[in-house]
């Protein structure tokens, strides 16, 4: 997705050779038009998969997921990171280790929103070591629903997440695949292969 | 906004006479089409106010804010509740007490996204005691920007938040105003006045 890669080149910042900061358009400030393009790309890719629900995780996955949900005409469910007073009934839960925050978090989905009839598209902002994506797959599969695909905005292809998801047989579609952040320079997978 | 009120009547659940649970379309599962309608309503109301940025707070404010941002053609910034490894530079911070979670949280915005030239529309999912909205106003004003308006999806008009915001002179626009949740029944302000 050339439009996204251009934004990463122009506005992304690399910290310590392995963290990519994209808070100008995705993780803190959000560009709604870019989110719409991203949602359209996910919708185009998975439109034949019979998607009935999109599952993401708060907070940075919500904007691209809602745009994809609008186009695919399906509800979006966001996994939450901590139990609030207003959610009490039966929950699906799992533990996810955050790569950037260096901490474990219990995340949950309400059971009532998924069933064995659902074909679920998982959407997240980043794929690094695959912890969040695999955690979302566990939550979805606990409900009996099927993970029909995984849409990732930015994949750090030099980390282990993509291989883990491929090995488990998930269909992963990443809009920008980063081969390296070495020397604090962003190199995409297609460029690295040239 | 009749469409929203109908969804609250049909799918909202009242807990303990003062908590309204709308996790079927706003706080956990999100209806993207409803979010678009909500975004359109905020955009229509504030289109003449010269809005340059929308500010919200994670997580439930993001979907309606991004839809409003798409229509008003402005970026959305979401205040974050905890400092992550990927955000290090100068931050605007304030403390907000969550009504539903019964806890105080430090929230922050990156300074670089707001300046004294900005006309900011604040968007949030609920207005109860006004803690989140007033906190977002403090963050915006710390930057020198102007709070041009506040868009609220659901206002609990029987709590103190609206009065506090009115007293401070903020322009508040709520799409659904709830007069009472007594006996676990939702009564809207216009109905209560009949």
Query: pLDDT value at position B103?
Result: 82
8 Å CB contact of A35 and B70: yes
3-class DSSP state of B138: helix
ipTM for the whole complex:
0.95
Query: pLDDT value at position B193?
Result: 62
What's the rounded Cα separation, in Å, for the pair A98 and B126? 28
DSSP state letter for A164:
H
pLDDT over threshold 60, residue A68: yes
Query: pLDDT value at position B82?
Result: 75
**Mind giving me the DSSP string for B44-88?**
HHHGGGT--EEEEETTTTHHHHHHHHHHHT--EEEEBSS--TT--
What's the rounded Cα separation, in Å, for the pair B36 and A121? 20
Query: pLDDT value at position A1?
Result: 86
Residue with tokens 């883990």: A164
Query: pLDDT value at position A102?
Result: 74
Confidence of residue A83 (pLDDT cuts 50, 70, 90): low
Domain locations in chain B as residue ranges:
2-81+100-193
Q: Compute the nearest-CA separation of B194 from chain A (Å).
A: 30
CATH code for the structural domain at A2-82+93-192: 3.40.50.2020
What's the rounded Cα separation, in Å, for the pair A62 and A28? 12
Query: pLDDT value at position A147?
Result: 98
B63 touches chain A (CB under 8 A): yes
Beta carbons of B175 and B38 less than 8 angstroms apart: yes
CATH code for the structural domain at B2-81+100-193: 3.40.50.2020
Q: What is the mean pLDDT of residues A135-152?
A: 98
B89 touches chain A (CB under 8 A): no
- Return the bridge partners of B155, or none: B127, B177
Give pLDDT < 70 ranges for chain B. Answer: 83-89, 99-101, 192-194
What's the rounded Cα separation, in Å, for the pair B112 and B77? 11
Query: pLDDT value at position B160?
Result: 97
Between A68-77, A94-103, A110-119, the lowest mean confidence (pLDDT) is in: A94-103
B16 touches chain A (CB under 8 A): no
Q: What is the mean pLDDT of residues A131-160?
A: 98
């Amino acid at each position: 997705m050339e439009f996204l890669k251009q934004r990463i080149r122009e506005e992304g910042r690399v910290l310590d050779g392995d963290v990519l900061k994209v808070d100008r358009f995705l993780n803190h400030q959000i560009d709604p038009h870019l989110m719409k393009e991203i949602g359209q790309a996910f919708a185009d890719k998975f439109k034949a998969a019979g998607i009935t629900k999109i599952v993401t995780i708060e907070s940075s996955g919500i904007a691209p997921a809602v745009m994809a949900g609008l186009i695919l005409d399906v509800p979006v469910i966001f996994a939450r990171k901590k139990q609030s007073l207003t959610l009490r009934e039966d929950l699906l839960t799992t533990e996810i280790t955050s790569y950037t925050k260096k901490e474990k978090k219990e995340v949950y989905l309400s059971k009532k929103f998924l069933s064995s009839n659902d074909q679920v598209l998982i959407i997240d902002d980043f794929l690094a070591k695959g912890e969040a994506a695999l955690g979302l797959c566990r939550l979805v599969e606990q409900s009996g629903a099927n993970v029909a695909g995984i849409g990732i905005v930015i994949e750090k292809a030099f980390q282990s997440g993509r291989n883990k998801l491929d090995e488990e047989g998930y269909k992963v579609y990443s809009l920008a695949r980063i081969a390296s952040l070495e020397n604090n320079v962003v190199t995409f997978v297609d460029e690295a292969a040239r």
